[in-house]
Amino acid sequence: MGKVRTLVIRAPGTNCDAETVFAFQQAGSEVSLVHVNQLIRRRERLDDYQILVIPGGFTYGDDIAAGKVLANELRLKLGEDILRFVEDGKLILGICNGFQVLAKAGFLPEFSEDGSLLLTVTTNDSGRFECRWVHLSVNRESTCVFTRGIDRLYLPVAHAEGKVVVLSGALTEQNVALFYTDEHGDISARYPHNPNGSVGNVAGICDRSGRVFGLMPHPERYIRGTQHPQWTRLGAREYGDGLQIFRNTVDWAEHL
């Protein structure tokens, strides 16, 4: 096949789309930024791509709940297309608001055709918008293809509704891809290391196949070394921690 094609969708209120496009370009993918209405009206075809991405932001002003309106659009108007996309072995990534959308559409931890939810993402325990850098640990038991070969990450979060709440028994060890930790890697560390109060310090979740992944932290905001908050003190690395997630995604899609 030719160059991997990534589709980044946007809707009113999306605001991390340009950074996400740049990240995938840096990882070697051809990227199209497309309004969700172009998919709904069939002016763009999901089948033409190997990677689907829902970036961060506040789609539709987070009316009702964060990501809920876009979640309903995707499930009711594009649900069959997205299910076929997943069944074809392709990849879906949701970042921050994108994670909220995937959860509230019933696409995580497993695809739900009737829209029933096994988990949701709700208001932070602090009751306020949390904007900080966090330490993350990758779950080595996870099937997640996006985090292959990664052990630790240091990435920013920026959300008011990031608390992952799960029905008892709904997640397996393989579903949990990322944990919030302290600087020593303790996955039981509480606030502010866990910025939202997520159950089990969960920061990212994938489906059973490992090909549908949602996370609250923003890997697209740490692609270059100079994006680290202390780069002038510690020295800038060539690449930021987030870039490897995008490289893993593109590398996997090259073999489809």
In the set 135, 159, 193, 218, the catalytic residue is: 218
Map tokens 């509704």 to a residue.
161
Query: Quick check: is 184 catalytic?
Result: no
In the set 44, 73, 161, 220, the catalytic residue is: 220
From the list 54, 40, 133, 168, the residue with the least C-alpha distance to 101 is: 54
Alpha carbon distance 76, 80 (integer Å): 9
Alpha carbon distance 99, 66 (integer Å): 10
In the set 96, 130, 144, 161, the catalytic residue is: 96
Query: Quick check: is 220 catalytic?
Result: yes
Query: Quick check: is 228 catalytic?
Result: no
133 is written with which tokens?
């850098």
Residue type present at position 64: I
DSSP 8-state code for residue 209: T
- Phi, psi torsion values for 221, nearest 5 degrees: -95, 5
CB 194 within 8 A of CB 144: no
DSSP-derived secondary structure for 214-248: EESS-GGG-SBGGGSTTHHHH---SB-TTHHHHHH
From the list 93, 88, 77, the residue with the least C-alpha distance to 37 is: 77
From the list 209, 147, 149, 210, the residue with the least C-alpha distance to 179 is: 147
Q: Residue 130's beta-bridge partner residues?
A: 159
Catalytic residues: 96, 218, 220
